[in-house]
Amino acid sequence: MKKQVVFLLLVIMSFSLIAQNKNYKLLIGTYTDTGKSQGIYSYDVDMKTGAFTQKSVTSKVPNPSFLAITPDKKFVYSVSESPSGSAAFAFKFDPVAEKLTKINSSSTTSDGPCFISATKNHVFTANYGGGSISVFGRNADGSLTDVLQLIQHTGKSVNTERQNEPHVHQVLVSPNQKYVIVNDLGTDKVTVYKYNPDSKTEILTPFDTLSVKPGSGPRHAIFNKDGSKLYLVHEIDGTVSVLGMKNGKLSLVQQTTVAYKADIVNRGAEIFLSPDERFVYVSNRGTANDVTCFAVAKNGKLTFVQRVSTKGDGPRNFALTPDGQYIFVGHQFTDNIVIFKRDTQTGKLTYTDKQIKIGAPVCLLFY
């Protein structure tokens, strides 16, 4: 019996070591107008040795700040957040060679695309500057059509510095692919569009709208796996909302926050759900520069667990490794990606003292 127990412990320890020593593959979108980066980077990360190996860089794409990869990993799409020619770019992706090859680009016909999503038939961009959504068709070879539909938002909200006009910040496809959720920072509204993949012109049609806390500025959200809950971070004041979704209709379940001191400037940025759906993580920029961990109850509501400094300035985006073992936090202003170990049982984060130096990282995408 003792031998069996010892053997079982050894097996558990070996699996634990394997989990802690995994290799990861990472795509990184950046701001090139800083002069510190060249475009879209591909990296291999060996957590055992701490080696970060650049495999490729795709240049000549102005400000490829946000990326999307298709489920089959054959294609990658990026925005080009360029004031002189806002566009979406299509790339053929070789995950073995870890290299992108440009197929084509297509104008968003609206300024400031800051988020991109892809389905089998379409690509969507959220255009912050233009306050709109651009809908592109996807051809069989992965190339993009011209804009098939441009949806212009209207309105404003209470913050006179940030909300005098619409600012669409995210276009998120629901898990069942029936709806597209759009967060508008400028109007404090979350809109559900019905997705009609076979339509030629009315690909997205308005279905439901939820007004959120005035002056909060809804930014990014993440669905749980069955699409019944939506976790939303608000940029302007650090509010975090839990939304329920049933048959395309939204409801407010809970409202909490990552703000914890009156004298700290909050700039909520990114939000992710752990693979086991037990924890939600939220990054906060401004003068906070931290990540907050919340535990998720059975009813979807959040309870505070931990807040940690991200060891850098401007944690605009972060990503969980596919196995949930680590969190990589990209800092736009200190030009680094900081790595934290994640306790999968408690949700808590521990700084690993490992960093990747890279100019103005904005989007981190594991594949």
Would you place residue 7 in the very low, low, confident or very high pLDDT band (cuts 50, 70, 90)? very low
Would you place residue 3 in the very low, low, confident or very high pLDDT band (cuts 50, 70, 90)? low
In this structure, what token pair is assigned to residue 145? 């059509």
pLDDT at 2: 52
Mean pLDDT of the chain: 94
pLDDT at 354: 95
The helix/strand/coil state of 216 is coil
Mean pLDDT of 125-143: 98
pLDDT at 332: 97
Would you place residue 13 in the very low, low, confident or very high pLDDT band (cuts 50, 70, 90)? very low
In this structure, what token pair is assigned to residue 326? 């680590």
Model confidence pLDDT, tens digit, residues 300-320: 999 999 999 999 999 999 999
Question: Hey, how many other C-beta atoms are within 10 angstroms of the C-beta on 323?
Answer: 14
**What percent of the chain lies above the pLDDT cut of 70?**
94
- Mark 120-140 as b/e (b = at least 16 C-beta within 10 Å): eebbbbbbbbbbbbbbbbbee
pLDDT at 20: 52
CA pair distance 197, 136, nearest whole angstrom: 11
In this structure, what token pair is assigned to residue 76? 């990658």
Neighbour order of strands in the sheet with 302-309: 268-273, 279-284, 290-296, 302-309
pLDDT at 10: 45
CA-atom Rg of the chain in angstroms: 20
SS3 content of the chain, % helix, strand, coil (to 5): 5, 50, 40
pLDDT at 82: 87
Mean pLDDT of 218-233: 98
pLDDT at 222: 98
- Given a cut of 80, is residue 163 above it in pLDDT? yes
CA-based max dimension of the chain: 72
Backbone angles phi, psi at 86, to 5 degrees: -65, 135
- Indicate if the alpha-carbon torsion angle 333, 336, 341, 345 is positive or negative: positive
CA pair distance 268, 285, nearest whole angstrom: 6
